[in-house]
Amino acid sequence: MEALELVVPITERKRAKEKLQESEARYRRIVETANEGIMMMDSQFRYAFVNQKLANMLGYQPDEMLGRPVTTFIFEEDLPDHLANMEKRTSGAGAQYERRHRRKDGSCCWTIVSATVLKDDAGRFAGSFAMLTDITKRKQAEDALKESELRFRTMVEMAPDAIFITDQTGAFIEVNEAACKQLRYTREKLLSRRVFDILPASLAAKASLRLKTMVNADSSYESCHMRSDGTQVPVELNIRKIMLNGNPAMLGIARDITERKQTEIVLREAKEAAEAATRAKSEFLANMSHEIRTPLNGIIGMIGLLMDMDLNAEQLGYAEIAHISSETLLSLINDILDLSKIEARKLELEILDFNLLTTLKDTTDLLAIDAHEKGLELVCLVEPKVPSFLRGDPGRLRQILVNLGGNAVKFTEKGEIMISVCLESENRNEAKLCFSVSDTGIGIPAKRQDILFSPFSQVDGSTTRKYGGTGLGLAISKHLAELMGGKIGLESKEGKGSTFWFTAVFEKQPAGSRSADETSAKIGDEGAIERSAAKPSISEDDMLKICILLVEDNPINQKVAQAMLKKMGFRADVVANGKEAVNALKMIPYDLVLMDCQMPLMDGFEATRCIRLQGSKALNPRIPIIAMTALAMQGDREMCIQAGMSDFIAKPVQQRELAEMLGKWLAINDR
Ligand code: ADP
């Protein structure tokens, strides 16, 4: 062998050595530039070689790692597993596995290790060679995904609503705990069912179609689910189409609404009961008001007759108090009747052509009486552009104005009351007007202002309060303003005065059909209304003796007509329907009847027929009966004459026409 060695030329050996060196350098370069971590471990489990990449992965320089035991770079909790793995590897097998390494900064670097065991010539364990791939990012993403999955799964499991996913055949793929509870299945059993098993037969076909076509897949609706025991549970169902492994699937969330349904039933029953109670109360109030009014009319009529007698001053004083008290009682009953009609939604507005100026004039005439007694100024201003020929319910408009104006007078000791009207907006057919009533009275504290429009509310609720009243006027006015398409409100300063305002929408009369009296009210300078009093052509003496029965159901029309008659010098008693009129005419020798046509219980036509009937118990069956009828209803006139009425005047009644009519019939009437 040695002789052989001698014959190998020096140059060849040198070349072989150089080749080896070259090859080693090449491999070293590959190892150094490789994109994987590469290392060699000696038989003592220490790093014998570390490439730059691996050092970078763990945050070291290769020198810092060389010679150190590999366990230095392993997390303590992973050591048992690591050592067991080493043990396995010393016995020979190469392997590929995932392993965490501790970086220099203590953070974690996840790697896939591909290791090959090295043996010496004697076949003993001499260390290992390994390539390490950094999979930290992938691991982190996987962890984040796992965490997020866990989070959502926990949420789904904790949700009180049943949540489930089915595939397109309706088979349950996922169900949460609440779904099992709601449907009374174990999770395994439910997962072996299809959605049709939890639906009543009537709904199953629809669900099957929806799943097949996925039409209307995203929707919410009330449905019903069937439990394992056959009982049903009402649910609010939300469904969405989702994708599951590339195929369409259905996600459903079903909320058990048993309690809500029961509450709805209880509430509906309670509401119906409350409505029935309110209706019963309103009907009772309406009936009572009618019943109370009948004897009250008798009382008022009799007091009137009594006052016509030759009474001494003291007796007259008593009779006057009785008269005022019974009138107050009557107006209170009228208010209660109105409120009960409003609550029973039975109050309807009339639709009449009317002249706004006339209505305002009637109202101010009515209020002027009390205002004058208290020494208060009463002014009415109408903005010139306010249209006057309107269509609506003048009686109810007057009622609001009289309520507000009456309060203004009641709560003001000195100063003035101003009623003003302005145009808020208009179009060809309609005008929205704003009415306001201002006073210089006691005012209303800010914190009490809100409650005033509720029934029976007053600023001073004490039993010893100074001002009378029931607290109904504003509640009624609010409803009326709303019925007229408007609103009501107030501005007030305690001690300074109040302004109550309301808006209302009226139709405008078409230009060619103006039927309201254009002459009875005029606007003077600055829009103030001038008042004129028409009187019938009968002697003053005769007038004092004449007694008129006014039959009218609308309380405010009653007041207005009464005020007109009073101004003409007549005394009038008021009843609110035909039945009351027939009764009154049996007791009291009236001279003339002013009869409204439409009234509750008995209308004007029937009442007239009763009075005229042969054998009628009326004291004077031939008494003149003047119908007060709405011009809008042309057929009314014929019906009036047919029913036996003597004549008719158009509503809303105008002072001048009324005076002429009374002059005509009272002069004819043979007294
Ligand atoms: P009534 O006047 O019959 O009590 P209303 O509903 O008309 O009923 O009014 C309710 C309350 O509102 C009155 O009692 C009063 O306290 C207050 N009020 C109404 N108008 C005025 C006003 N112009 N000035 C001061 N207080 C008023």
pLDDT in tens, 91-146: 766 678 899 999 999 999 999 999 888 888 888 888 889 999 999 999 999 999 99
DSSP codes joined into one string, 78-91:
GHHHHHHHHHHHHT
Query: Which DSSP state fits 309?
Result: S
Point out the least confidently predicted range of 12-16, 366-370, 428-432, 455-459: 455-459
Report the separation in Å between the CA atom of 429 and the middle of ligand 1, taken as the mean of its atom positions.
Answer: 35
Where is the domain boundary, 232, 256, 280?
256
Q: Is the dihedral of CA 349, 355, 358, 363 positive or negative?
A: positive
Pair 99, 165 in one domain: no
> In this structure, which residue's CA is closest to atom 18 in ligand 1?
407
Domain annotation covers residue 507: yes
Report the separation in Å between the CA atom of 416 and the middle of ligand 1, taken as the mean of its atom positions.
Answer: 17
Residue 658's CATH number = 3.40.50.2300
Domain annotation covers residue 250: yes
pLDDT-derived band at 521 (thresholds 50, 70, 90) equals: very low
pLDDT of 506: 97
> In this structure, which residue's CA is closest to atom 25 in ligand 1?
443
Domain annotation covers residue 337: no
Q: What is the pTM of this model?
A: 0.54
> In this structure, which residue's CA is closest to atom 8 in ligand 1?
471
Contacts of residues 408-411 at CB distance under 8 Å and 24 or more positions apart, as own/partner, are: 408/437, 408/438, 408/439, 408/441, 408/498, 408/500, 409/367, 409/370, 409/371, 409/374, 409/376, 409/439, 410/467, 410/469, 411/439, 411/441, 411/442, 411/467, 411/498
> In this structure, which residue's CA is closest to atom 12 in ligand 1?
458
Which residue(s) pair with 98 in the sheet? 112
Rounded distance between C-alpha atoms, residue 179 and residue 199, angstroms = 14
pLDDT-derived band at 531 (thresholds 50, 70, 90) equals: very low
> In this structure, which residue's CA is closest to atom 19 in ligand 1?
407
Domain annotation covers residue 186: yes
> In this structure, which residue's CA is closest to atom 14 in ligand 1?
458
Structure-token match 């290769």, residue found: 62
Rounded distance between C-alpha atoms, residue 187 and residue 48, angstroms = 56
> In this structure, which residue's CA is closest to atom 11 in ligand 1?
458
Residue 43's CATH number = 3.30.450.20
First to last CA, the chain: 175
Report the separation in Å between the CA atom of 475 and the middle of ligand 1, taken as the mean of its atom positions.
Answer: 10
Pair 229, 201 in one domain: yes
Report the separation in Å between the CA atom of 305 and the middle of ligand 1, taken as the mean of its atom positions.
Answer: 34
Contact 367, 326 (CB under 8 A): no
pLDDT-derived band at 275 (thresholds 50, 70, 90) equals: confident
Ligand 1 within 6 A of CB of 408 = yes
Pair 585, 639 in one domain: yes
Which atom of ligand 1 approaches the CA of 335 most closely?
A: 3
Ligand 1 within 6 A of CB of 442 = yes
pLDDT of 273: 93
Ligand 1 within 6 A of CB of 476 = no
Contact 40, 127 (CB under 8 A): yes
pLDDT-derived band at 229 (thresholds 50, 70, 90) equals: very high
Ligand 1 within 6 A of CB of 501 = no
pLDDT of 566: 83
Q: Is the dihedral of CA 552, 556, 561, 562 positive or negative?
A: positive
Which atom of ligand 1 approaches the CA of 453 most closely?
A: 6
Point out the least confidently predicted range of 169-183, 242-256, 650-664: 650-664
Among 113-117, 263-267, 308-312, 465-469, top mean pLDDT goes to 263-267
What are the phi and psi torsion angles at 505 (to 5°)? Answer: -105, 130
Domain annotation covers residue 151: no
Ligand 1 within 6 A of CB of 444 = yes
pLDDT of 466: 63
Domain annotation covers residue 339: no
Which residue among 409, 458, 467 has the greatest number of ligand 1 atoms within 8 angstroms of its CB, and so is best to mutate?
458
Which atom of ligand 1 approaches the CA of 403 most closely?
A: 7
Report the separation in Å between the CA atom of 501 and the middle of ligand 1, taken as the mean of its atom positions.
Answer: 14
Rounded distance between C-alpha atoms, residue 525 and residue 153, angstroms = 83
Report the separation in Å between the CA atom of 441 and the middle of ligand 1, taken as the mean of its atom positions.
Answer: 11
pLDDT of 564: 82
Ligand 1 within 6 A of CB of 470 = yes
Ligand 1 within 6 A of CB of 459 = yes
**Per-residue model confidence as pLDDT tens digits over 154-201:** 999 999 999 999 998 999 999 999 999 999 999 999 999 999 999 988
What SS3 state is found at 390? strand
pLDDT(288) > 50: yes
Residue 361's CATH number = 3.30.565.10
Pair 196, 242 in one domain: yes
Q: How much is the mean pLDDT over the chain?
A: 85
Ligand 1 within 6 A of CB of 417 = no
Report the separation in Å between the CA atom of 458 and the middle of ligand 1, taken as the mean of its atom positions.
Answer: 6
pLDDT of 517: 42
Pair 301, 419 in one domain: no
> In this structure, which residue's CA is closest to atom 2 in ligand 1?
469
**Range of 22's domain?**
1-28
Pair 402, 494 in one domain: yes
Report the separation in Å between the CA atom of 452 and the middle of ligand 1, taken as the mean of its atom positions.
Answer: 7
Ligand 1 within 6 A of CB of 362 = no
Ligand 1 within 6 A of CB of 415 = no
Report the separation in Å between the CA atom of 407 and the middle of ligand 1, taken as the mean of its atom positions.
Answer: 6
Pair 203, 293 in one domain: no
Instruction: Kindly state the average pLDDT of the residues 625-635.
Output: 71
Element (H, E) at 463: none
> In this structure, which residue's CA is closest to atom 9 in ligand 1?
471
Pair 416, 515 in one domain: yes
Which atom of ligand 1 approaches the CA of 472 most closely?
A: 6
Rounded distance between C-alpha atoms, residue 486 and residue 432, angstroms = 8
Nearest to 456 by CA among 288, 321, 343, 330: 343
> In this structure, which residue's CA is closest to atom 21 in ligand 1?
407
Contact 650, 515 (CB under 8 A): yes
pLDDT-derived band at 442 (thresholds 50, 70, 90) equals: very high
pLDDT of 532: 43
Where is the domain boundary, 234, 256, 278?
256
What SS3 state is found at 115? strand
pLDDT of 302: 80
HSE (side-chain half, CA atoms, 13 Å) at 404: 32
Domain count, the chain: 5
Instruction: Kindly state the average pLDDT of the residues 342-371.
Output: 85
Report the separation in Å between the CA atom of 492 and the middle of ligand 1, taken as the mean of its atom positions.
Answer: 12
Where is the domain boundary, 511, 530, 549?
530
Report the separation in Å between the CA atom of 448 and the middle of ligand 1, taken as the mean of its atom positions.
Answer: 11
Pair 377, 493 in one domain: yes
Pair 367, 509 in one domain: yes
Domain annotation covers residue 342: no
Ligand 1 within 6 A of CB of 331 = no
**Per-residue model confidence as pLDDT tens digits over 4-29:** 555 566 788 888 888 888 888 888 88
> In this structure, which residue's CA is closest to atom 13 in ligand 1?
458
Pair 356, 487 in one domain: yes
Which residue among 399, 449, 474 has the greatest number of ligand 1 atoms within 8 angstroms of its CB, and so is best to mutate?
474
Element (H, E) at 528: none
Domain annotation covers residue 324: no
Which atom of ligand 1 approaches the CA of 437 most closely?
A: 23
Pair 3, 72 in one domain: no
